[in-house]
Structure 1
């Protein structure tokens, strides 16, 4: 409970922030200064006030408005602008809060400076600037070349732990440096992640054209799932309209596989399961399993063995299975599987054929409910293996003036990328193997890649981004590319600073939250999101409303196979690809398509030429591919003083 003094301090802060011009804010509200202006005192000793104040300052910095009436302060979210440029500016302000906060960190600044500092490589002194292309040189080369297609030679380079042979930089450091030039903060992605560089073989050091990253997808996106045809109710209706032997056999197999892929040795040892299996009374077995799941869930959240969990060898599947986290998950999953088998399995056992069993189950209301659970389970299992999100995709200067973002988008789903993804993830799944207590491999062949626009007003990068499938080894009469799936207003945390997150986490812990976010893989998605949610709940503030970005995003997707729904769910065991996954010369063919369709046309425009020439590699270096380290006021004053010193 907040004290009277804390409530007065918060009210004063609200009054001060209500006078802020929300059209002029964005990464500019200093938390310390505003706390001092409101005479809040030592916030560390006032955790409730600290969480409330930091959250409020961030929200106002994102365009939220405060009005004061008789009841007290009222907070109103920003509305989307009809003006496209104004809306883009608002979203950039929102993203720049965390990005600039990150770029001010000493460790990040040291990294950027180390990349920009020259080092010896063979007989040359090289720095990250050697991986940028001078815009004037590029414009001149495109204008004078007899064959303009030789002026840019893009190719895909998968980022791994190796070193660039042309600069001796680690590939991941190259990728990370250029990622810091994005509008939003750089962050590692939990789960699967495969960074990609697009480089230009037409330059000495193979300059960076753009970046991409294929990562684990957002699990539930209604617009995507409906477009793919595997949304639960939608798919169930399709099955009812046309039940087939293939689907019936798939359902029967799924029921048995779901049980077989759960480690049960300790459950039998502890008397939760009978030695011969589930026992004769399934209902009692399910009840024991659910109680066991809850007991071990609470043990996990007490966090007494977190260090032990993190020290377990990655392939010690039995040891990992018997941790509190996976004991809880296994008991819950087995309880669900046995309920499904008890209700739905009997129809398949009693009928002569799987198809007859499916038809009988569809007429049974309870069995239909279990079919829905099987569909949801299958989608949840496969969504993170055959589907991926394009979480990073874009070109760097000066190539971005030539619409090279479209080139990066196409190359991000090219045969080389799909082959690399399959090779990287054709290994035991961490969660499935921990559930089974033995190595379990999941499908690693992608069927679909999705992404979202940063701005809800449109995406010039993905707009009309389609290409003939034959440039990737597919049929000449087939077009593939980025389909617009719909629009979504998403939840997120990008509008909260690390300072605010820390205050919210501390409050939730001091408040005795029973849910501990341990940031262990397998515990759940987005630890940052869950931490903020718990902190806002401790304040008693509306979490869902405050976690909304206040922005609309456009969803896009690239289907890679013809049998999208069937392969994605695992009904079909083999993908019917639109491309040739083994094609080796796809990079060159995609590059030739992009040059003819986009780049050369734009290069002929005077405005585009001027845009390219603005990115110079002569000192002082003013180049759009250089990380924009924020300059604080004290640094600016120091620079101004030094600039007028004699001899400067």
Structure 2
């Protein structure tokens, strides 16, 4: 039995100092939830639970409000509540050994967040607007024109002289434009079909490039599937180790084989970091002396760290409106904000400290021998680690990306078109479009430098995760010859299975709960304020939940485990993956031809021969496709299925009332 298999209970008593009224109300709530027969297919109606537990005015009882919302979320997710003499305890839901049962459990968990979103009046109006016929090019069209009738597709595949021509896929990168065949906004088309997914639709921070895969064989170019290339999760151990740029893996490699090339890169990293930090105000305020940039001292490092802490505290006292009023491209003014003043002082202190320790080994000329000597010195080795982490942090969101959305819609999904979408999502056309879109100044790097700094935007690696830990038929055995995408004939492109991610995050918490936790942490005087400003740090939602759980005195390490382990996959696009990703090599050595932007036909032909044609010849698959009809009564799997509106929230409810029972 592993540690993760052991039964673990989490104490959820209210913190010391909570009023007697709140403690008694919380215990009544625990009793209600521990005895209520919760239906996993339906959401808990909080107002009814609060009424049964006789708790009211949660807005003016923030501790009880945060605890109550958090507890209901966890109960909905299948956590077991036990009442003991010394207080209530929670036990996380166990995973089920049967893969299909476990998938059903995860789908229920996802629907608990997706269905409330689909009940929102604004979302329902959007769905209705997309489905309502409108005039375009002399005819009436709607989103239904972008769905292919399954009966027609099945018949065409069965009777066509050339079945491979029945589906003609191509990639369309979603921008602010409109579909020429329907007049619908491209992003609205993408969003509509995204609402058919099992999990809720959310925008993601950082870079994001939505993609439609469409079918030129239909009159209005029906949607086959959709994908999205987005900023990656900063740290995924399985991915980083496989790429070879994990700090420990990299250090072990260069310790075994130190080279002049790596020594030169480390020396250049120090110089680059120094030149990419705005220092004018630091010099004017006598925090930094000009000589310290050439001859760093421990005193200079200490002064910078003190300045960083002073401005970090000032940032948390600064009204948000002052920060948000700054012109987007006024890099010098943004650099002088307390947030970036603190970040700059910290980065400069780190870099000067690194130079102080490593220069004796790397100057005047970096050599393999100097690098080998540095790696034998524990202090120098620590600074090498710092440089590697900084390099990885700068390039993690620029040369690698996550495939955050990927899948086919009905009726194409019956033909394993999810594999087609996966292959096209990492095709040369997408790589080229990504580079074009993001060949612009980096917001954080430019704000640190006080001038426009453009980061690398040539993708080298794309990773993704399965929705279920039991496997992903979409990515399994998904590999194809590199020459299909203009690469060498002796290479393959594939979705490699890299390992399993930690089942950790905030997907189990609703927005109401996050709001209640944030309010509690602020009322209790949390010294750190999470503003969801770009540049503050990764995952603001995660940091907000951590602060709120800390204010409750509950274990965030345990409660943030959502119990949904996922398989991590990765697609290697270049041969020199580690060295290009870190910036040791200035240019990528691609396994595909990034200039081959019209190569969808070759990919589609490969997919049809390998997957689509085989599926189309199966009677069960053909029958499955025929169930998706575009005649009344319209039944189609690519149509958004709206849940009932019973107890749906009203947009007229003011924020304060939303916290009350």
Q: 1:180 aligns with which of 182, 185, 195?
A: 195
2:57 is equivalent to residue 42 of structure 1: yes
| Distance in 1 (alpha carbons) for counterparts of 2:629 and 2:366 | 71
- Give SS of 2:502's match: strand
Q: CA deviation at 1:244?
A: 0.9
Q: 1:324 aligns with which of 328, 333, 338?
A: 338
Paired residues of 1:252 and 1:354 also in contact (CA < 8 A)? no
2:219 is equivalent to residue 204 of structure 1: yes
| Distance in 2 (alpha carbons) for counterparts of 1:10 and 1:68 | 12
1:566 paired residue number: 579
Q: CA deviation at 1:274?
A: 1.4
Q: 1:343 aligns with which of 350, 357, 360?
A: 357
Q: CA deviation at 1:483?
A: 0.1
Q: CA deviation at 1:82?
A: 0.5
2:88 paired residue number: 73
Structural mapping, 1:353-392, within 5 Å: 353-392=366-405
Paired residues of 1:303 and 1:518 also in contact (CA < 8 A)? no
1:584 paired residue number: 597
Paired residues of 1:200 and 1:207 also in contact (CA < 8 A)? yes
2:5 paired residue number: none
Q: CA deviation at 1:568?
A: 0.6
1:170 paired residue number: 185
2:476 is equivalent to residue 463 of structure 1: yes
1:312 paired residue number: 326
Paired residues of 1:495 and 1:549 also in contact (CA < 8 A)? yes
How far does the alpha carbon of each residue in 1:476-531 deviate from its partner, in whole angstroms, 9 at most, with x for none?
Answer: 22211100000112322111112211211211121111111111111111222211
Number of matched pairs: 632
1:6 paired residue number: 22
How far does the alpha carbon of each residue in 1:191-223 deviate from its partner, in whole angstroms, 9 at most, with x for none?
Answer: 111000000001111011101000000011111
Paired residues of 2:264 and 2:366 also in contact (CA < 8 A)? no
| Distance in 1 (alpha carbons) for counterparts of 2:32 and 2:362 | 68
Paired residues of 2:442 and 2:453 also in contact (CA < 8 A)? yes
Structural mapping, 1:209-358, within 5 Å: 209-278=224-293, 282-304=297-319, 306-349=320-363, 353-358=366-371
1:474 paired residue number: 487
- Give SS of 1:541's match: coil
- Give SS of 1:489's match: coil
Paired residues of 2:628 and 2:635 also in contact (CA < 8 A)? yes
| Distance in 2 (alpha carbons) for counterparts of 1:211 and 1:172 | 11
Paired residues of 1:101 and 1:497 also in contact (CA < 8 A)? no
- Give SS of 1:607's match: helix
Q: 2:563 aligns with which of 533, 544, 550?
A: 550
Runs of 4+ more than 3 Å apart: 275-281
2:652 paired residue number: none
- Give SS of 2:339's match: helix
| Distance in 1 (alpha carbons) for counterparts of 2:41 and 2:279 | 54
Distance 1:586 1:128, change over 3 A: same
| Distance in 2 (alpha carbons) for counterparts of 1:21 and 1:604 | 46
Q: CA deviation at 1:353?
A: 4.6
1:146 paired residue number: 161
2:34 is equivalent to residue 18 of structure 1: yes
Q: 1:156 aligns with which of 171, 177, 182?
A: 171
Consecutive unaligned residues in structure 2, runs of 5 or more: 1-16, 649-661
Q: 1:103 aligns with which of 118, 126, 150?
A: 118
Q: CA deviation at 1:72?
A: 2.1
Q: CA deviation at 1:280?
A: 5.9
Q: CA deviation at 1:26?
A: 4.3
Distance 1:7 1:426, change over 3 A: same
- Give SS of 2:315's match: helix
Distance 1:146 1:322, change over 3 A: same
Q: CA deviation at 1:585?
A: 3.1
1:57 paired residue number: 72
Consecutive unaligned residues in structure 1, runs of 5 or more: 636-648
- Give SS of 1:79's match: coil
| Distance in 2 (alpha carbons) for counterparts of 1:458 and 1:359 | 43
| Distance in 2 (alpha carbons) for counterparts of 1:373 and 1:173 | 43
Paired residues of 2:296 and 2:352 also in contact (CA < 8 A)? no
Q: CA deviation at 1:45?
A: 2.1
Q: CA deviation at 1:335?
A: 0.2
2:651 paired residue number: none
Paired residues of 1:255 and 1:345 also in contact (CA < 8 A)? no
- Give SS of 1:548's match: coil
How far does the alpha carbon of each residue in 1:137-173 deviate from its partner, in whole angstroms, 9 at most, with x for none?
Answer: 1111111111101111010000011111111111111
1:621 paired residue number: 634
How far does the alpha carbon of each residue in 1:113-158 deviate from its partner, in whole angstroms, 9 at most, with x for none?
Answer: 1111111001110000101111111111111111101111010000
Q: CA deviation at 1:356?
A: 3.0
2:417 paired residue number: 404
Paired residues of 1:95 and 1:183 also in contact (CA < 8 A)? yes
- Give SS of 1:531's match: helix
2:516 is equivalent to residue 503 of structure 1: yes
| Distance in 2 (alpha carbons) for counterparts of 1:133 and 1:493 | 36
Q: 2:48 aligns with which of 18, 21, 33?
A: 33
Q: 1:428 aligns with which of 441, 450, 465?
A: 441
Paired residues of 1:96 and 1:184 also in contact (CA < 8 A)? yes
1:640 paired residue number: none
Compute the TM-score of the two structures, normalised by the length of structure 2: 0.94
| Distance in 2 (alpha carbons) for counterparts of 1:322 and 1:216 | 26
- Give SS of 2:321's match: helix
